[in-house]
């Protein structure tokens, strides 16, 4: 199962990003684990300064904004 982390201090853009991912997973019928990380130490621990960021299976795949829907679908099925 894929694990996603959305990195961000809890602003609206971070919420939107998390929703996009769970929505895409539901549409693809894929089980995923999704965590929202708001702890600054952990966010910076991933080397990300511009939020929201997305971590997929421990690897940073996106930072600095809401990801595109196509991108999100790639992550979920890929």
Partner 1 sequence: MFESLGNLIAFQLLRLGPESHLGAAVQFFVMDLTKIFALLVIVIYVMGLLRAMLSPERVRAFVRGRPDWQARGMAVTLGAVTPFCSCSSVPLFIGFVEAGIPLGVTFSFLIASPMINEVAAVILVGVLGWKLAALYVLAGLLVAWFGGIAMQAFHPERWVEDYVWKIRMGETGAIETDRSLLGRHRYALGEVREIVGRIWIWVLIGIAVGALFHGFVPADWVTTHLGGDDWYSVPLAVLLGVPLYSNATGIIPVAEAMLTKGVAIGTTLALMMSVAALSLPEMLILRKVIRWPALALFAGVLAVAFTLVGWTFNLIA
Token readout for 72 is 């999100």
Shortest separation between residue 45's beta carbon and partner 1, angstroms: 5
Shortest separation between residue 2's beta carbon and partner 1, angstroms: 17
Applying CB under 8 A, among 4, 6, 8, 37 the residue interacting with partner 1 is 8
> What does the per-residue mask of binding to partner 1 show for 53-72, with x meaning CB under 8 A?
------xxxxxxxx-x-x--
Neighbour count for residue 70 (Cβ, 10 Å): 8
Token readout for 24 is 């895409």
What's the CA gap between 40 and 25, in Å, rounded? 26
- Contact residues toward partner 1 (CB under 8 A) are 8-11, 13-14, 40-41, 43-52, 59-66, 68, 70
């Amino acid at each position: 199962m894929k694990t996603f982390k959305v990195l961000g201090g809890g602003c609206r853009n971070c919420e939107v990003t998390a929703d996009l991912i769970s929505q895409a997973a539901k549409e693809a019928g894929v089980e995923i684990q999704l965590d929202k990380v708001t702890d600054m130490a952990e966010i910076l621990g991933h080397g990300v300064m511009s939020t929201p960021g997305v971590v997929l299976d421990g690897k940073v795949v996106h930072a600095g904004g809401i990801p595109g829907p196509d991108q999100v679908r790639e992550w979920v099925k890929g």
